[in-house]
Amino acid sequence: MKQCWEQVAGGVTAPQGFRAAAVRCGLRQAEANDLGLLVCDSQGSAAATFTTNRVAAAPVRWSRATIAKGKVRAAVVNSGNANACTGARGLRAVEATAAKAAELLGLTPDNFLIASTGIIGRYLPVEKLLAGLPRAVDALDGSLEAGERFARAILTTDTTLKQAALRCDLGGGACVTLGGATKGAGMIAPGMATTLSFLTTDAAVARPLLQRMLRRAVELTYNRISIDEHMSTNDTVLCLASGLAEARPVRDGTPAARRFEGALTELCRILALKIVADGEGATRLVRVEVVRAPSEQAAVAAARAIADSPLCKCALHSGDPNWGRFVSAAGYACPQLDEAKTRLFIGGKLAYAAGAPADVTEAELAAEMAGRDVTLRLDLGLGKAKATVWTCDLSKEYVAINADYHT
Amino acid sequence: MKQCWEQVAGGVTAPQGFRAAAVRCGLRQAEANDLGLLVCDSQGSAAATFTTNRVAAAPVRWSRATIAKGKVRAAVVNSGNANACTGARGLRAVEATAAKAAELLGLTPDNFLIASTGIIGRYLPVEKLLAGLPRAVDALDGSLEAGERFARAILTTDTTLKQAALRCDLGGGACVTLGGATKGAGMIAPGMATTLSFLTTDAAVARPLLQRMLRRAVELTYNRISIDEHMSTNDTVLCLASGLAEARPVRDGTPAARRFEGALTELCRILALKIVADGEGATRLVRVEVVRAPSEQAAVAAARAIADSPLCKCALHSGDPNWGRFVSAAGYACPQLDEAKTRLFIGGKLAYAAGAPADVTEAELAAEMAGRDVTLRLDLGLGKAKATVWTCDLSKEYVAINADYHT
């Protein structure tokens, strides 16, 4: 498909019909905003995907139910506390948050998706959050700056802001805008939907179609990244569509739908890669491509095994072309692998073929791993399927961050 | 079953009928022995389990075939080079090794199991190994010291010697001895048989029974440890039985068989735990027990998820009772988990129950994680199955070791 989108400035408020705000409630120790509010000015449509972890946070349980009702048009997000493993008291905190936000905005509680991120297993100090909500409502604004403040308020151990926006040409002169903000640097694993992500668009897309498109986009992007293979209790990807652009509704099976889904997938990919690039302690962004696999499932399994292995990630950290680790990871993940047919490339150089080392020097391979961006390509020689997974290296800094995060 | 064994001194040469030797061939940069030879003086029986990695080292491919022929009574083991991903040339190196060892000892090549451990993807300098073999044959000795030298020669990044021996009372006044040596500190994952392990006994056990007992023992011990979740290309567990003790053959279904299998399992457990305790960079030995699970498979999956998660291992490293990480790991690994029925204990203290934090202080939980030995117990409240997995913490030292291992 020809690319029909271009990146534009801003994030969640780039599309028409969205206002955002961020305030500080004191949920985080850092002097930073920790409460974000995102509101769609119209009753458009909404879609979302959530963690598949059986230990699901209270806000995830609430939001699954409200998304099913089909009325979501706003989101309240806090950082600093995950409100997970908090039982009935955690759920009451979510209900109080939605009730208060609804009252302040003249909406109903089921108009709200609630999301939380931060420490697991501590009760959310909900009174602080409720005290901050009126200020957040007062601060709601449709500017790009307000969108950026929202994006900053949802961060935890992140070191970089993570937002993006695309302008998409649907064809026939109609254009729509998509925007998004995401967070995440640790507890990132390919599960179902990883981390928190808030996507907005002024396209008009009916809810079932938006849900299908979002699910496919997430599968190819958020579900193909890994920092530490630990699936969170709070993963949520929300997409709100205001329908306020001057464009006809996006209908299933049309060229406009294909263009819109392409842009939505690209937006998710841009945001997901910002997460990997900011992986806790990470110094490299690694693209693991598996090609000529017998099935997409096999390709994903082999790519993930390489992307997840601490041994592979340590070799990637030091830029050491210890390719036996990459090949052996694929070997335990892919039961169809045949050494005689397998080839491994590091960057542009062949490292391993026909079950033996290729004719290449270690210095040549090391040169391919020296930069911030590294590509590993595993050619299984078995079929036509392929998959790409993005990961980062494992550094002492990751251990330092995660040995000390709790206290 | 009442315990019918006691630990005795020594390792592979503790049982009657075994001689061992170790010499230096120059396969490792370190000034250490890197070639081990183990010979059974009788044509007893042998059993073995191997890695399930599709990328299997040349010695594994050789040894699978010779074990199937039923004539194995000796082992040649080298450290410093895994002879994996080395194609036809790697296999020729193994054939030359077995041929030379057979010639020197007056045996046939299919009497030999060959095992290698070290760097993957480099050709084995087989001429160095062949040059060392005559010295190894000359050095063969049945003393406990010779067994210890063998155990030291198979080490790589290990910092401790790993051997043990048990004396087992089979009942009716008959006693047999079991001994073993193992290696491993990294690339340790529960797969099928992990790492290298050489077990000996002077009991007489027919090959099919020995194979079944070994497989079950490995499943409960070597397959229940994890350091870094990366399954090796060279994993091999060999058990040689000389039959030279003054005891009747162990027959299937008898009390003696149950006693012998109990001792064999205990020996494997002792050796496997030495691996975890010496995990690269490890400072703690962690026992993850899952109880009241709906199935043993579910119990193992939940325990492994906790044991493998880098986030859990970082919390274990700092002794931080961040129990949300343990519960959430179980949540993504066990689809049947029900938060309302789940309880997590850290040491003797309840940390989490009925979906919420238990009535315990962080200081109380931290005290349970302060020592070298830590036990986590997850009660799923769903059934009667259980499993235990052993793991270690993740430290900056692990990264340092593995970022620099190759060069």
B27-82 pLDDT, tens digit each? 988 889 999 999 999 999 999 888 877 888 899 999 999 999 999 999 999 999 98
Interface-testing mutation among A61, A326, A328, A391, with chain B (most B C-beta atoms within 10 A): A328
Q: pLDDT of A294-326, one tens digit each?
A: 999 999 999 999 998 888 998 999 899 989 889
pTM given for the model: 0.80
Yes or no: say if A280 and A369 are a contact pair by the CB < 8 Å rule. no
Residue B191 confidence class, pLDDT cut points 50, 70, 90: very low
Residue A405 confidence class, pLDDT cut points 50, 70, 90: low
Res A193 pLDDT > 90: no
Positive/negative CA dihedral, A289, A291, A296, A300: negative
Q: pLDDT of B348-395, one tens digit each?
A: 999 999 888 999 999 999 999 999 999 999 999 999 999 999 999 988
Q: Find the closest chain B residue to A406 by CA distance.
A: B322
Cβ-based contacts of A314 with chain B (< 8 Å): 398-399, 402-403, 405
Instruction: Please list the active-site residues of B.
Output: 194
pLDDT reported for residue B35: 97
pLDDT reported for residue A194: 44
CATH code: domain B5-277 is 3.60.70.12
Nearest to A229 among B191, B309, B395 (CB): B309
User: Mean of the pLDDT values across residues A227-241?
Assistant: 78
Q: pLDDT of A99-124, one tens digit each?
A: 999 999 999 999 999 999 888 888 99
**Contact residues for A103 (Cβ-Cβ < 8 A; gap 6+):** none
Which residues on adjacent β-strands are paired with residue A286? A374, A391
Say yes or no for a CB contact (<8 Å) between A82 and B356: no
pLDDT reported for residue A92: 97
Q: Strands A385-392, A373-379: parallel, antiparallel or unpaired by DSSP?
A: unpaired
Q: pLDDT of B266-289, one tens digit each?
A: 999 998 888 888 888 889 999 999
Answer with the residue of higher pLDDT: B399 or B340. Answer: B340
pLDDT reported for residue B197: 84
Cβ-based contacts of B354 with chain A (< 8 Å): 87
pLDDT reported for residue B296: 93
Say yes or no for a CB contact (<8 Å) between A228 and B356: no
User: Mean of the pLDDT values across residues B98-124?
Assistant: 94
Q: Find the closest chain A residue to B351 by CA distance.
A: A121
Res B193 pLDDT > 70: no
Residue B1 confidence class, pLDDT cut points 50, 70, 90: low
Residue A187 confidence class, pLDDT cut points 50, 70, 90: low
Nearest to A354 among B87, B328, B398 (CB): B87
Q: Based on C-alpha coordinates, what's the Rg of chain B? A: 22
Question: Side-chain half-sphere of A263: how many Cα atoms within 13 Å?
Answer: 31
pLDDT reported for residue B218: 87
Residue B333 confidence class, pLDDT cut points 50, 70, 90: confident
Cβ-based contacts of B85 with chain A (< 8 Å): 324, 327-328, 339, 352, 355-357
Say yes or no for a CB contact (<8 Å) between B189 and A332: yes
Cβ-based contacts of B226 with chain A (< 8 Å): none
Nearest to B356 among A87, A315, A404 (CB): A87
Q: Which CATH superfamily is domain A285-404 in?
A: ArgJ beta chain, C-terminal domain (3.10.20.340)
pLDDT reported for residue B195: 76
pLDDT reported for residue B194: 44
Nearest to A324 among B85, B330, B399 (CB): B85
Res A191 pLDDT > 60: no
Res B106 pLDDT > 80: yes
Interface-testing mutation among A51, A83, A85, A360, with chain B (most B C-beta atoms within 10 A): A85
Q: Report percent pLDDT > 70 for chain B.
A: 95
Positive/negative CA dihedral, A328, A329, A333, A339: negative
Q: Answer yes or no: is the ipTM higher than 0.90.
A: no
Residue A332 confidence class, pLDDT cut points 50, 70, 90: confident
As a dihedral over the C-alpha atoms of residue B165, residue B169, residue B175, residue B181, rounded to 10 degrees, the angle is -10
* Distance from chain centroid for Cα B248: 28
* Number of Cβ pairs < 8 A linking chain A and chain B: 234
Res A190 pLDDT > 70: no
| Domain extents in chain B | 5-277, 285-404
Res A135 pLDDT > 50: yes
C-alpha distances (whole Å) from B278 to each of A49, A130, A233, B51, B218 are: 42, 50, 32, 21, 19
**Contact residues for B234 (Cβ-Cβ < 8 A; gap 6+):** B51, B57, B59, B60, B82, B83, B84, B115, B116, B117, B196
Ranges A59-63, A131-135, A194-198, B140-144: which has the least confidence? A194-198
- What's the whole-number average pLDDT of chain A? 90
Say yes or no for a CB contact (<8 Å) between B357 and A86: yes
Yes or no: say if A16 and A10 are a contact pair by the CB < 8 Å rule. no
